[in-house]
Chains A and B, each alone.
Chain A
Amino acid sequence: MLQLANPTRFMQYSARLLPWLAAASALVLALGLYMAFFVAPPDYQQGETVRIMFIHVPSAWLAMMCYGIIAVSSFGLLVWRHPLADVSAKAAAPIGAAFTLLALVTGSLWGKPMWGAYWVWDARLTSVLILFFLYLGLMALRRASDDDVLASRLTAILAIVGTVILPIIKFSVDWWNTLHQPASVMRLGGPTLHPSMLWPLLVMALGFTLLFLTLHLAAMRNEVLRRRVAVLREARVARAGASRAAEPQPAE
């Protein structure tokens, strides 16, 4: 791992990039929150609760994008055996799970005043919940084995399986929902969104994406450092063992 030039170069570049990314995401998020809370008008039907959407929608987008990144990274690990791909997949999973949870929680907080219940078995909610379970499965499988290399490859296989099966799950949940629950759920029409709400949403989405990139890069750097520490520790143990073996043993 240390012999490869790429992680070292990654550490150099990311160290330079990270402060800028963090500052940019803080700025854009601050601007987005200001627009969401003070500029965007309350919805004529939903009132002030519509502001939850400015957190909720970007979280849901990122929840999906994050799974995409895990899938691409897993593919990179399995095909090219690139260690950074594994670092990326490992770092992205908890962040993606956090965004998915954020989307679920904000969604149910929005649902209570709008639908009268914290949880409604709406097709989208259900698919996002299953996405959350997949994230949990990925994280649990990675922690299950002591052998890090084995665990990372197994997790990559599960991520690829999830990529194949996620669209099927989405399709089946849509089918199930239209069957069990005729369209009673009010939704915001995407393209009919008024510009006064669209702009804050887009700014928030950009802010969330920047935030994700910052967190992902930071987590990847941590992971690389963690692995380096582990390698150094193993080397020290090996050296100590070798020097002890070289010493003349006391006669028994």
Chain B
Amino acid sequence: MTAFLALVGRDLRLALRQGSTLGTTLGFYLIVVAILPLGLGPDLNLLARIAPGVLWVALLLSALLSMERIFQIDLEDGTLEVLALGPLPLELIAMAKGIAHWLTTGIPLALTAPLLGLLLNLDLAAYGPLAATTLAGTPAVSFIGTIGAALTLGINRGGLLLSLIVLPLYVPVLIFAVSAVTNAVTGPAPFLPPFLILLALTLASVVLAPVAAAAALRLHLQ
């Protein structure tokens, strides 16, 4: 457990002291959300209607930016091999990496989403549900991302491939998160069922994704 927490703490410190990745990610999120009304027209009713979906899609795209680096740097400087030799099984290493990615990318993005809702005339009733779904859904985003990051490790231009592989896997998360928000605002279906399914997706990905990611990492370390 101490080794696990130490690993999470190390990744957090690295992310904090580097700093630039988070700024880039949030800036990208802002720009994607800001550029959409320019393409769609300034109709506030239309923007309010599509705001939850736009915020979620842009969040997924922004989260992809830093995903490639989840294992990349550690593989390049040999840290990953040292970690693999240590007491932690690779599954837990992958899980720690997923948690660290969520803490450094997922939570900031989740907290930015309601702010960016202001740009899109998001319905007042949607702020709470939007924050709830982004907070509940971003762990699934990070953890499913660890699978893609582990699979495309050490590959030239792995980031492009990563998005091709990972984005289809995000379909369930996106659908249930957005339908929870839309339900909360317009009804008629209640907010809770899709939200609970979103939580289930998150929990399942937290448990299952590290297994797949570790299997891929093991191949890279052979």
Residues of A bordering B, CB below 8 Å = 78, 130, 133-134, 136-137, 140-141, 144-145, 150, 153-154, 157-158, 160-162, 164-165, 168-169, 171-173, 175-176, 179
User: Does B119 reach chain A (CB closer than 8 Å)?
Assistant: no
Please determine whether A144 and B169 come into contact, CB atoms closer than 8 angstroms: no
Please determine whether B164 and A136 come into contact, CB atoms closer than 8 angstroms: yes
User: Does B61 reach chain A (CB closer than 8 Å)?
Assistant: no
Once the chains are docked, how many angstroms separate the CA of A140 from the CA of B189? Answer: 40
Chain B residues with CB below 8 A from A141, complex form:
151-152, 161, 165
Minimal beta-carbon separation of A169 from chain B (angstroms): 5
**Set A136, A144, A158, A164: member contacting B155, Cβ < 8 A:** A144
User: Does B212 reach chain A (CB closer than 8 Å)?
Assistant: yes
Which of B4-12, B121-129, B214-222 lines the interface with chain A?
B214-222
Once the chains are docked, how many angstroms separate the CA of A161 from the CA of B161? Answer: 16
Please determine whether B212 and A137 come into contact, CB atoms closer than 8 angstroms: no
Once the chains are docked, how many angstroms separate the CA of A40 from the CA of B52? Answer: 48
For chain B, the bracket of interface size reads 20 to 34
Please determine whether B212 and A175 come into contact, CB atoms closer than 8 angstroms: no
Please determine whether A150 and B220 come into contact, CB atoms closer than 8 angstroms: yes
Minimal beta-carbon separation of A176 from chain B (angstroms): 4
**Set B151, B154, B156, B189: member contacting A157, Cβ < 8 A:** B151
Which of B20-28, B131-139, B170-178 lines the interface with chain A?
B170-178
Please determine whether B172 and A137 come into contact, CB atoms closer than 8 angstroms: no
Please determine whether B175 and A140 come into contact, CB atoms closer than 8 angstroms: no
Please determine whether A175 and B201 come into contact, CB atoms closer than 8 angstroms: no
Known: A150-B220, A173-B175, A175-B175. A144 touches B152 (CB 8 A): yes
**Set A140, A150, A161: member contacting B212, Cβ < 8 A:** A161
Please determine whether B179 and A133 come into contact, CB atoms closer than 8 angstroms: no
Please determine whether B171 and A169 come into contact, CB atoms closer than 8 angstroms: yes
Known: A154-B216, A165-B169. A144 touches B175 (CB 8 A): no
Once the chains are docked, how many angstroms separate the CA of A176 from the CA of B56? Answer: 15
Chain B residues with CB below 8 A from A160, complex form:
212
Known: A140-B164, A173-B171. A150 touches B179 (CB 8 A): no
Residue of B nearest to A179 (CB): B179
User: Does B147 reach chain A (CB closer than 8 Å)?
Assistant: yes
Please determine whether A137 and B165 come into contact, CB atoms closer than 8 angstroms: yes
User: Does B190 reach chain A (CB closer than 8 Å)?
Assistant: no
Please determine whether B171 and A150 come into contact, CB atoms closer than 8 angstroms: no
Please determine whether A161 and B175 come into contact, CB atoms closer than 8 angstroms: no
Once the chains are docked, how many angstroms separate the CA of A154 from the CA of B171? Answer: 22
